[in-house]
A = this chain, B = another copy of it.
Amino acid sequence: MTHPLAILSQRETNIARDIVRESHPGTVIDFREIFLNEPPKAELVEFLAIEHAGRLTPTTPRPPRRALCQYDVIGEDRIPQFHESIVDVVSRRRVKHTVVGKQHHASLTLSEFDVLVDRCMNSPLFQSALADFRLPDGFEVVIEPWPYGGLDETEENRRYFQGLCFARDTRSGNADTNFYSYPLPLIPVMDAHTQEIIRVDRPATGGKGDGLTEQTFKTDIIGHCKPSEYVPELLPEGTRKDLKPLNVLQPEGPSFKVTDESLVEWQRWRFRVAFNPREGATIHDVWYDGRSVMYRLAVSEMTVPYADPRPPFHRKQAFDFGDGGGGNMANNLSLGCDCLGVIKYFDAVITQADGSAQKLPNAICLHEQDNGIGWKHSNWRTGRAVVTRQRELVIQFIITLANYEYIFAYKFDQAGGITVESRATGILNVVNIDSGKASEYGNVVSGGVLAQNHQHIFCVRMDPAVDGVNNSVMVEESHPVPMNVTTNPHGNLYRVIKKTVDQATFMDADPKINRTIKMVNPHKLNPISGNPVGYKFIPMATQLLLADSRSVQARRAQFAQHHVWVTKHRDDELYAGGRYTLQSQKEVDGVADAVRRGDSVSDTDVVVWCTFGITHNPRVEDWPVMPVEIMQLTIRPADFFVANPAIDVPSSRNVSSQLVDSTCCREARI
């Protein structure tokens, strides 16, 4: 039988589509998403308890199997109305129906992007703006559709999209020439309901000393731009020849086991992998050696605000999970490219505009990797060294959002730790800058190409279940103590202060006092230390959102303004930046609102959110494709176990490793 956490199958998705259609006779339905509405936690926890007790039978009551359906209903007035329905795909009944208020916009779909491109190309307004420029022969215009960003206060809240424009050199006949190196200072804006290009914004192309809106461009707009290719066959000197293969071989196969489609077992870990169009891969029901650790773990949201103050660049602010869906944008991964070794791929299901399920093959990959030494000790008395390697299990997915890519990974290790990793790569979003100018808003990374300063701010949502659902959050800090005769006669003491968080709150990283967040079970004490069993993380002291708190950018992204948020669990409260981020004017029902409820969070079903990010003032080295910028949130056991859980990892010598031979090391002394 289907597990309650299994992603909706194509069959189930199509059932939901049919029910929605039947519920809205006489209308056209534009589907956006159909995906699993995860069971209410209370019901799922009950089911999981039976499952873990090994008492599941065919008659065990199961949580309902429901689809969350997001769609536009287009009636006779031709104005799309955004609806949400929850459909029970077993009983084939609609169990909930909401007409979402007009202040919110449904997430974007790629078909809207296609419409934008089409309408631009056919828009006299756009063509007339384009006529201000003279493109060299063989160059064609490329429109990069983008969400509109935050509305200005004076604007009517209609559904808009903007296009960032570039020119592509078609002369080589290669469809993958890099158009980002030829930016055009045109930003067409489309009203998505009327599908009309209503305006073409004309961003400035000036540099230091030029005004915010001053038009300084030349007709020969890309005459000072240069090719900057990244596909191997277009590199002037090809690829380097001196990199020898490095192969990862697992002759006895992997150490993991995947059963029941989503259940992963590896080195005493046991958890479920799921996927949804918004968050991409999610991790559920994490246990270690028969004890529960985490109910749910996911990357919840991210925002990328740009810092160029020249309008309309203030509208460049993506919410890459809420706007278009991190899952929708997931890459189809390839064997031997995105990871090495023995790899298990998971497929996903996404929704087409007509509501039909479409398989997204290889959306997630699962593999093991070696992460260097795990632990080592040498007894200098006897000369005996015991050294183990640290093996990790990696669940990875990669999303492409127009120019950028993000590689997300959940990594489980043998010492009971879980790391959430994000790697930012892809191509910088860039704009045109006049020849010879420099800018205080970014860096010139190629001729005529300004890469604007921006931030990438991520939020990871942790729903801990440390030996059970009811947990508390403790803040542990290490404080200096002034030298004094009574308690600190030699001045070396520092004091560890632990406090339980009583009420929903936010807080910031504070490395000066080594602020550490512990998710503990207050009812279960470690038999050795007497401390409550827990898992901990140190929030990374990275720069928070820089935009002025009164700005639309900041109002939309409150989650990006503090490093740690502690809330009480509510079903469906999964998204740090709120449920509807596309073109939002402020964060609604996001993590800040959840905190404002002021729930008691001690010894209850608590949720912890961790925000971290990169302030990305581009380097020339980030062009044309940037080397990965890696961020890691590491969650480690803290008195959860009675010893290092990796102590029994075998320390056997890897017999396939080799000494170098003399061909690479003349005069080698080994």
Contacts and interface: CB of A to CB of B under 8 A. Distances in A.
Given A249-B656, A621-B640, A230 B647 contact: yes
B415 A340 contact: no
Contact of A620 (B248, B480, B643): B643
B400 A380 contact: yes
Interface string A340-367: 1111111100000000000000100000
Contact of A624 (B244, B374, B647): B647
A529 B444 CA distance: 5
Contacts of A542: 511
Given A243-B267, A619-B637, A628-B373, A400 B425 contact: no
Given A249-B249, A386-B232, A443-B531, A483 B550 contact: yes
A646 interface: yes
Interface string A645-670: 11111110111111111011111111
30 contacts: A232-B648, A232-B651, A242-B255, A243-B649, A244-B252, A244-B255, A245-B656, A246-B341, A248-B249, A250-B658, A306-B492, A307-B493, A311-B490, A331-B378, A334-B385, A336-B654, A338-B387, A343-B657, A373-B425, A375-B625, A376-B625, A443-B639, A453-B496, A482-B548, A492-B548, A511-B511, A620-B642, A620-B643, A623-B643, A626-B644
B646 A253 contact: no
A551 B490 CA distance: 6
Given A240-B649, A384-B176, A492 B553 contact: yes
Given A374-B628, A548-B488, A621-B416, A494 B453 contact: yes
A492 B649 contact: no
A521 B589 CA distance: 50
B491 A661 contact: no
A430 to B, nearest CB: 13
Contacts of A232: 386, 648, 650-651
Main secondary structure of the interface of A (DSSP, over half): loop
A27 interface: no
Contacts of A615: 478, 494, 514
A57 interface: no
Given A248-B248, A530-B438, A660-B344, A314 B621 contact: no
Given A235-B647, A240-B650, 8 more contacts: A232-B651, A243-B649, A344-B665, A346-B669, A376-B625, A483-B548, A514-B543, A621-B641
Contacts of A447: 528
A318 to B, nearest CB: 13
Contact of A627 (B375, B554, B624, B667): B375
A373 B656 CA distance: 24
A377 B390 contact: no
B636 A621 contact: yes
Interface string A383-404: 0111101110000001010110
Q: Closest 7 CB pairs between A and B?
A: A491-B551, A491-B548, A314-B490, A415-B627, A336-B654, A247-B656, A494-B546
Nearest to A516: B617
Nearest to A389: B340
A87 to B, nearest CB: 24
Interface stretch (A59-67, A256-264, A568-576, A577-585): A256-264
A215 to B, nearest CB: 17
A251 interface: yes
A505 interface: no
Interface string A77-110: 0000000000000000000000000000000000
